[in-house]
Amino acid sequence: MTFSGLRITGPNPETPYVLGQPLDVRDGDIHLGRLNQVTVSPGGGGVQLEDFRTTDLQQMRTWRTARLVVVEVLNYFVEHYPAFSTFAIVLSADIDALEKTDGGAQRLAHARTQMLQSVGATDIRMTPKPHPRHAAHFMVSGVWHYNNANAKLLAEALAKERQAYAERKQAVALEPAPPPAPRSMIGRLLSTKSQ
Protein backbone atom coordinates (compact mmCIF):
# COMPACT_ATOMS: atom_id res chain seq x y z
CA MET A 1 0.00 0.00 0.00
CA THR A 2 1.39 3.40 -0.87
CA PHE A 3 1.11 6.20 1.63
CA SER A 4 -0.22 9.49 0.33
CA GLY A 5 0.45 11.42 3.49
CA LEU A 6 -1.48 13.06 6.25
CA ARG A 7 -3.13 16.43 6.32
CA ILE A 8 -2.32 19.09 8.90
CA THR A 9 -5.12 21.53 9.71
CA GLY A 10 -6.28 23.90 12.36
CA PRO A 11 -9.10 22.87 14.69
CA ASN A 12 -11.53 23.25 11.78
CA PRO A 13 -10.69 20.52 9.24
CA GLU A 14 -11.51 22.89 6.38
CA THR A 15 -8.98 25.55 7.38
CA PRO A 16 -5.19 25.58 7.25
CA TYR A 17 -3.12 25.61 10.40
CA VAL A 18 -2.34 29.02 11.93
CA LEU A 19 0.67 29.27 14.25
CA GLY A 20 -0.36 29.25 17.91
CA GLN A 21 -3.59 27.31 17.38
CA PRO A 22 -4.07 23.66 18.22
CA LEU A 23 -2.94 21.56 15.26
CA ASP A 24 -4.84 18.51 13.98
CA VAL A 25 -3.40 15.56 12.07
CA ARG A 26 -5.84 13.86 9.71
CA ASP A 27 -5.86 10.99 7.28
CA GLY A 28 -8.78 11.84 5.04
CA ASP A 29 -11.78 12.03 7.37
CA ILE A 30 -9.99 10.17 10.17
CA HIS A 31 -8.79 12.43 12.97
CA LEU A 32 -5.52 10.86 14.14
CA GLY A 33 -4.38 13.34 16.73
CA ARG A 34 -4.00 16.86 18.00
CA LEU A 35 -1.18 19.01 19.26
CA ASN A 36 -2.97 21.25 21.76
CA GLN A 37 -0.26 23.68 22.76
CA VAL A 38 2.19 25.52 20.51
CA THR A 39 4.26 28.24 22.19
CA VAL A 40 6.77 30.38 20.30
CA SER A 41 9.86 31.34 22.31
CA PRO A 42 10.26 35.04 23.22
CA GLY A 43 13.15 35.43 20.75
CA GLY A 44 11.21 33.74 17.96
CA GLY A 45 13.90 31.15 17.15
CA GLY A 46 12.18 28.23 18.78
CA VAL A 47 8.86 26.69 19.57
CA GLN A 48 7.55 24.39 22.29
CA LEU A 49 5.23 21.60 21.17
CA GLU A 50 3.27 19.94 23.95
CA ASP A 51 0.08 18.14 24.84
CA PHE A 52 -0.03 15.68 21.94
CA ARG A 53 -3.23 13.61 21.90
CA THR A 54 -3.79 10.63 19.64
CA THR A 55 -7.41 9.85 18.92
CA ASP A 56 -7.47 6.75 16.71
CA LEU A 57 -5.71 4.21 18.92
CA GLN A 58 -8.71 1.91 19.15
CA GLN A 59 -9.60 2.19 15.47
CA MET A 60 -6.10 1.31 14.26
CA ARG A 61 -5.54 -1.18 17.11
CA THR A 62 -2.01 0.07 17.75
CA TRP A 63 -0.18 2.53 19.98
CA ARG A 64 2.33 3.26 17.23
CA THR A 65 0.15 5.91 15.59
CA ALA A 66 1.14 8.26 18.43
CA ARG A 67 4.74 8.18 17.19
CA LEU A 68 3.59 8.96 13.66
CA VAL A 69 1.65 11.99 14.93
CA VAL A 70 4.68 13.37 16.81
CA VAL A 71 7.16 12.98 13.93
CA GLU A 72 4.60 14.22 11.39
CA VAL A 73 4.00 17.37 13.47
CA LEU A 74 7.72 17.99 13.97
CA ASN A 75 8.32 17.55 10.25
CA TYR A 76 5.46 19.98 9.48
CA PHE A 77 7.03 22.69 11.63
CA VAL A 78 10.50 22.10 10.17
CA GLU A 79 9.15 22.41 6.62
CA HIS A 80 6.71 25.30 7.14
CA TYR A 81 8.48 27.47 9.71
CA PRO A 82 12.16 27.75 8.70
CA ALA A 83 12.74 30.56 11.22
CA PHE A 84 12.54 28.00 14.03
CA SER A 85 15.76 26.15 14.70
CA THR A 86 14.95 24.74 18.14
CA PHE A 87 11.94 22.59 18.99
CA ALA A 88 11.13 21.68 22.59
CA ILE A 89 8.90 18.61 22.64
CA VAL A 90 6.89 17.60 25.71
CA LEU A 91 5.10 14.23 25.76
CA SER A 92 2.84 13.68 28.75
CA ALA A 93 -0.62 12.61 27.55
CA ASP A 94 -2.31 9.90 29.58
CA ILE A 95 -2.87 6.57 27.87
CA ASP A 96 -5.00 4.82 30.46
CA ALA A 97 -5.12 1.43 28.74
CA LEU A 98 -1.34 1.23 28.92
CA GLU A 99 -0.64 3.11 32.13
CA LYS A 100 -3.01 1.07 34.27
CA THR A 101 -1.11 -2.14 33.47
CA ASP A 102 1.75 -3.26 35.69
CA GLY A 103 4.81 -1.23 34.68
CA GLY A 104 2.85 0.45 31.89
CA ALA A 105 3.79 4.01 32.80
CA GLN A 106 7.49 3.15 32.75
CA ARG A 107 7.15 1.33 29.40
CA LEU A 108 5.33 4.33 27.94
CA ALA A 109 8.00 6.74 29.20
CA HIS A 110 10.74 4.49 27.79
CA ALA A 111 8.99 4.30 24.38
CA ARG A 112 8.66 8.09 24.33
CA THR A 113 12.33 8.48 25.19
CA GLN A 114 13.33 6.11 22.38
CA MET A 115 11.12 7.99 19.91
CA LEU A 116 12.77 11.32 20.79
CA GLN A 117 16.22 9.74 20.51
CA SER A 118 15.34 8.31 17.09
CA VAL A 119 14.88 11.81 15.64
CA GLY A 120 18.02 13.23 17.26
CA ALA A 121 16.52 15.06 20.22
CA THR A 122 18.89 15.96 23.04
CA ASP A 123 18.48 16.96 26.68
CA ILE A 124 15.85 14.22 27.06
CA ARG A 125 14.31 14.18 30.51
CA MET A 126 11.89 11.79 32.16
CA THR A 127 10.14 13.67 34.95
CA PRO A 128 7.61 12.19 37.40
CA LYS A 129 4.21 13.75 36.95
CA PRO A 130 1.67 13.14 39.75
CA HIS A 131 -1.45 11.41 38.51
CA PRO A 132 -4.65 10.76 40.47
CA ARG A 133 -5.30 7.28 38.99
CA HIS A 134 -1.83 5.82 38.43
CA ALA A 135 1.01 5.15 40.85
CA ALA A 136 3.63 6.29 38.35
CA HIS A 137 3.25 8.68 35.47
CA PHE A 138 6.05 10.43 33.61
CA MET A 139 6.45 13.43 31.38
CA VAL A 140 9.15 12.99 28.75
CA SER A 141 10.68 16.06 27.14
CA GLY A 142 13.54 16.78 24.79
CA VAL A 143 14.96 19.43 22.50
CA TRP A 144 15.35 18.93 18.76
CA HIS A 145 17.79 21.26 16.99
CA TYR A 146 17.64 21.76 13.26
CA ASN A 147 20.86 20.56 11.63
CA ASN A 148 21.71 18.24 8.74
CA ALA A 149 22.20 15.15 10.91
CA ASN A 150 18.90 15.64 12.76
CA ALA A 151 17.04 16.44 9.53
CA LYS A 152 18.24 13.11 8.14
CA LEU A 153 17.17 11.25 11.30
CA LEU A 154 13.76 12.95 11.18
CA ALA A 155 13.28 12.00 7.51
CA GLU A 156 14.22 8.38 8.28
CA ALA A 157 11.89 8.20 11.30
CA LEU A 158 9.06 9.79 9.31
CA ALA A 159 9.47 7.31 6.43
CA LYS A 160 9.52 4.41 8.91
CA GLU A 161 6.42 5.58 10.79
CA ARG A 162 4.51 6.33 7.58
CA GLN A 163 5.33 2.86 6.27
CA ALA A 164 4.22 1.21 9.52
CA TYR A 165 1.01 3.25 9.50
CA ALA A 166 0.24 2.35 5.87
CA GLU A 167 0.82 -1.35 6.59
CA ARG A 168 -1.37 -1.25 9.71
CA LYS A 169 -4.09 0.67 7.87
CA GLN A 170 -4.09 -1.97 5.14
CA ALA A 171 -4.22 -4.80 7.70
CA VAL A 172 -7.16 -3.18 9.52
CA ALA A 173 -8.99 -2.76 6.19
CA LEU A 174 -8.59 -6.51 5.53
CA GLU A 175 -9.85 -7.56 8.97
CA PRO A 176 -13.49 -8.57 9.14
CA ALA A 177 -15.70 -5.96 10.71
CA PRO A 178 -16.80 -6.85 14.23
CA PRO A 179 -20.45 -7.82 14.46
CA PRO A 180 -22.73 -4.99 15.54
CA ALA A 181 -23.49 -4.90 19.24
CA PRO A 182 -26.95 -6.15 20.17
CA ARG A 183 -29.28 -3.25 20.82
CA SER A 184 -31.48 -4.77 23.51
CA MET A 185 -30.68 -6.25 26.90
CA ILE A 186 -32.08 -9.61 25.80
CA GLY A 187 -29.97 -9.50 22.63
CA ARG A 188 -26.81 -8.82 24.68
CA LEU A 189 -27.64 -11.71 27.02
CA LEU A 190 -28.25 -14.09 24.12
CA SER A 191 -25.06 -13.06 22.34
CA THR A 192 -22.92 -13.75 25.43
CA LYS A 193 -24.54 -17.18 25.94
CA SER A 194 -23.85 -18.20 22.34
CA GLN A 195 -20.11 -17.46 22.65
d(C-alpha 47, C-alpha 122), whole Å:
15
134 is a domain residue = yes
2 is a domain residue = no
151 is a domain residue = yes
Q: Give residue 91's domain range.
A: 7-193
With a cut of 70, say whether residue 190 has pLDDT above it. Answer: no
- The structural domain count of the chain equals 1
Where does the pLDDT of residue 90 fall: very low under 50, low under 70, confident under 90, or very high at 90 and above?
A: very high
The pLDDT, as a whole number, for residue 155 is: 95
The pLDDT, as a whole number, for residue 2 is: 45
81 is a domain residue = yes
With a cut of 90, say whether residue 123 has pLDDT above it. Answer: yes
Across all residues in the chain, what is the average pLDDT?
81
Q: Please give the average per-residue pLDDT across 172-193, as a whole number.
A: 61
The pLDDT, as a whole number, for residue 166 is: 86
80 is a domain residue = yes
Helix (H, G, I), strand (E, B) or coil at 89: strand
64 is a domain residue = yes
Residue type for position 148: N
1 is a domain residue = no
CATH code (residue 18):
3.40.630.30
d(C-alpha 76, C-alpha 21), whole Å:
14
169 is a domain residue = yes
